[in-house]
Amino acid sequence: MAIYGILKAINDIINAIKCIIDAINVIINAINGIINAIEVIINAIDGIINAIEVIINAINGIINAIKGIINAINCIFNATNGIINFINGIVNAIYGIFKAIHVVFDPIYGIVKATNDINNAIYESVKAINDINNAINGIVKALHVIFEAINNGMNGLNIFSKNT
Protein backbone atom coordinates (compact mmCIF):
# COMPACT_ATOMS: atom_id res chain seq x y z
CA MET A 1 0.00 0.00 0.00
CA ALA A 2 2.86 2.39 0.83
CA ILE A 3 4.57 1.53 -2.48
CA TYR A 4 1.32 2.38 -4.28
CA GLY A 5 1.29 5.73 -2.42
CA ILE A 6 4.91 6.41 -3.42
CA LEU A 7 4.20 5.51 -7.06
CA LYS A 8 1.07 7.68 -7.02
CA ALA A 9 3.09 10.55 -5.53
CA ILE A 10 5.75 10.16 -8.26
CA ASN A 11 2.99 10.12 -10.90
CA ASP A 12 1.46 13.25 -9.33
CA ILE A 13 4.88 14.96 -9.42
CA ILE A 14 5.34 14.03 -13.12
CA ASN A 15 1.86 15.38 -13.92
CA ALA A 16 2.58 18.57 -11.98
CA ILE A 17 5.87 19.03 -13.89
CA LYS A 18 3.93 18.57 -17.14
CA CYS A 19 1.53 21.29 -15.94
CA ILE A 20 4.49 23.57 -15.21
CA ILE A 21 5.90 22.95 -18.74
CA ASP A 22 2.45 23.69 -20.24
CA ALA A 23 2.22 26.87 -18.16
CA ILE A 24 5.71 27.94 -19.31
CA ASN A 25 4.59 27.36 -22.93
CA VAL A 26 1.53 29.55 -22.27
CA ILE A 27 3.84 32.26 -20.87
CA ILE A 28 6.11 32.03 -23.95
CA ASN A 29 3.06 32.27 -26.25
CA ALA A 30 1.76 35.24 -24.27
CA ILE A 31 5.14 36.98 -24.51
CA ASN A 32 5.12 36.35 -28.28
CA GLY A 33 1.64 37.89 -28.35
CA ILE A 34 2.95 40.97 -26.54
CA ILE A 35 5.87 41.23 -29.00
CA ASN A 36 3.41 40.98 -31.93
CA ALA A 37 1.22 43.64 -30.31
CA ILE A 38 4.25 45.94 -29.93
CA GLU A 39 5.05 45.40 -33.64
CA VAL A 40 1.45 46.35 -34.49
CA ILE A 41 1.81 49.51 -32.37
CA ILE A 42 5.11 50.40 -34.12
CA ASN A 43 3.51 49.84 -37.55
CA ALA A 44 0.50 51.94 -36.53
CA ILE A 45 2.81 54.77 -35.39
CA ASP A 46 4.64 54.54 -38.74
CA GLY A 47 1.24 54.81 -40.45
CA ILE A 48 0.42 57.92 -38.42
CA ILE A 49 3.80 59.49 -39.35
CA ASN A 50 3.18 58.72 -43.04
CA ALA A 51 -0.33 60.17 -42.79
CA ILE A 52 1.07 63.38 -41.24
CA GLU A 53 3.58 63.62 -44.10
CA VAL A 54 0.72 63.29 -46.61
CA ILE A 55 -1.18 66.06 -44.78
CA ILE A 56 1.89 68.34 -44.89
CA ASN A 57 2.30 67.65 -48.63
CA ALA A 58 -1.40 68.37 -49.18
CA ILE A 59 -1.09 71.67 -47.26
CA ASN A 60 1.92 72.57 -49.41
CA GLY A 61 -0.25 71.77 -52.45
CA ILE A 62 -2.92 74.18 -51.15
CA ILE A 63 -0.25 76.89 -50.62
CA ASN A 64 1.06 76.31 -54.15
CA ALA A 65 -2.50 76.51 -55.49
CA ILE A 66 -3.03 79.84 -53.69
CA LYS A 67 0.26 81.08 -55.20
CA GLY A 68 -1.12 79.97 -58.56
CA ILE A 69 -4.25 82.09 -57.99
CA ILE A 70 -2.06 85.12 -57.11
CA ASN A 71 0.00 84.55 -60.26
CA ALA A 72 -3.21 84.22 -62.27
CA ILE A 73 -4.41 87.59 -60.89
CA ASN A 74 -1.13 89.16 -62.11
CA CYS A 75 -1.85 87.77 -65.57
CA ILE A 76 -5.02 89.92 -65.78
CA PHE A 77 -2.88 93.04 -65.95
CA ASN A 78 -0.74 91.73 -68.82
CA ALA A 79 -3.17 91.14 -71.72
CA THR A 80 -6.33 89.53 -73.01
CA ASN A 81 -4.52 86.21 -73.14
CA GLY A 82 -3.65 86.83 -69.51
CA ILE A 83 -7.35 86.97 -68.66
CA ILE A 84 -7.93 83.59 -70.31
CA ASN A 85 -4.91 82.16 -68.51
CA PHE A 86 -6.14 83.72 -65.28
CA ILE A 87 -9.52 81.96 -65.59
CA ASN A 88 -7.82 78.64 -66.39
CA GLY A 89 -5.42 79.18 -63.52
CA ILE A 90 -8.26 79.81 -61.06
CA VAL A 91 -10.18 76.72 -62.27
CA ASN A 92 -7.04 74.56 -61.97
CA ALA A 93 -6.14 76.09 -58.60
CA ILE A 94 -9.66 75.53 -57.22
CA TYR A 95 -9.54 71.97 -58.56
CA GLY A 96 -6.14 71.60 -56.88
CA ILE A 97 -7.51 72.94 -53.59
CA PHE A 98 -10.42 70.46 -53.63
CA LYS A 99 -8.04 67.66 -54.60
CA ALA A 100 -5.66 68.63 -51.78
CA ILE A 101 -8.56 68.83 -49.28
CA HIS A 102 -9.55 65.31 -50.38
CA VAL A 103 -5.94 64.17 -49.86
CA VAL A 104 -6.03 65.64 -46.32
CA PHE A 105 -9.05 63.51 -45.37
CA ASP A 106 -7.49 60.21 -46.54
CA PRO A 107 -4.63 60.32 -43.99
CA ILE A 108 -7.05 61.42 -41.24
CA TYR A 109 -8.90 58.15 -41.90
CA GLY A 110 -5.50 56.42 -41.72
CA ILE A 111 -4.79 58.05 -38.35
CA VAL A 112 -8.18 56.90 -37.00
CA LYS A 113 -7.48 53.37 -38.27
CA ALA A 114 -3.96 53.41 -36.80
CA THR A 115 -5.37 54.57 -33.45
CA ASN A 116 -7.84 51.68 -33.59
CA ASP A 117 -4.93 49.29 -34.34
CA ILE A 118 -3.08 50.68 -31.29
CA ASN A 119 -6.19 50.12 -29.12
CA ASN A 120 -6.49 46.55 -30.44
CA ALA A 121 -2.79 45.92 -29.77
CA ILE A 122 -3.15 47.23 -26.19
CA TYR A 123 -6.21 44.98 -25.73
CA GLU A 124 -4.19 41.97 -26.98
CA SER A 125 -1.34 42.89 -24.62
CA VAL A 126 -3.76 42.99 -21.68
CA LYS A 127 -5.11 39.60 -22.76
CA ALA A 128 -1.56 38.24 -22.96
CA ILE A 129 -0.77 39.58 -19.48
CA ASN A 130 -3.95 37.87 -18.23
CA ASP A 131 -2.74 34.62 -19.86
CA ILE A 132 0.60 35.04 -18.04
CA ASN A 133 -1.27 35.52 -14.73
CA ASN A 134 -3.34 32.38 -15.44
CA ALA A 135 -0.18 30.45 -16.30
CA ILE A 136 1.50 31.60 -13.05
CA ASN A 137 -1.61 30.51 -11.14
CA GLY A 138 -1.31 27.13 -12.90
CA ILE A 139 2.34 26.86 -11.81
CA VAL A 140 1.39 27.69 -8.21
CA LYS A 141 -1.34 25.02 -8.30
CA ALA A 142 1.10 22.51 -9.83
CA LEU A 143 3.67 23.28 -7.11
CA HIS A 144 0.91 22.79 -4.53
CA VAL A 145 0.18 19.37 -6.07
CA ILE A 146 3.92 18.51 -5.98
CA PHE A 147 4.26 19.51 -2.32
CA GLU A 148 1.09 17.63 -1.46
CA ALA A 149 2.40 14.57 -3.33
CA ILE A 150 5.75 14.83 -1.49
CA ASN A 151 3.88 15.17 1.81
CA ASN A 152 1.72 12.14 0.97
CA GLY A 153 4.85 10.24 -0.01
CA MET A 154 6.51 11.14 3.31
CA ASN A 155 3.39 10.03 5.17
CA GLY A 156 3.45 6.80 3.18
CA LEU A 157 7.11 6.24 4.11
CA ASN A 158 6.33 6.94 7.76
CA ILE A 159 3.49 4.42 7.73
CA PHE A 160 5.68 1.97 5.80
CA SER A 161 8.55 2.36 8.30
CA LYS A 162 6.18 1.98 11.27
CA ASN A 163 4.73 -1.24 9.82
CA THR A 164 8.14 -2.83 9.20
78 pLDDT above the threshold of 70? no
**pLDDT confidence bin for 25, thresholds 50/70/90:** very high
**pLDDT confidence bin for 75, thresholds 50/70/90:** low
Query: What pLDDT is recorded for position 67?
Result: 92
What mean pLDDT do residues 42-62 have?
89
The sign of the CA dihedral 70, 76, 82, 88 is: positive
| Angle between helical axes of 80-163 and 2-76 (0-180°, round to 10) | 170
CA distance 42 to 49: 11
**pLDDT confidence bin for 43, thresholds 50/70/90:** very high
The 8-class DSSP code of residue 158 comes to H
Query: What pLDDT is recorded for position 46?
Result: 92
The model's pTM is 0.47
pLDDT in tens, 86-140: 789 999 988 988 888 887 788 888 788 888 988 888 898 888 888 888 888 888 8
Q: Which residue has better confidence, 58 or 103?
A: 58
User: What CATH number does the domain containing 41 carry?
Assistant: 1.10.287
Q: Which domain holds residue 104?
A: 2-163
Report the domain count for the chain.
Answer: 1
Query: What pLDDT is recorded for position 76?
Result: 61
Per cent of the chain over pLDDT 70 is 93
Q: Which stretch of DSSP H or E encloses residue 35? A: helix 2-76
How many CB atoms sit inside 10 A of residue 68's CB?
A: 17
The mean of the pLDDT values for the chain is: 84
CA distance 101 to 96: 8
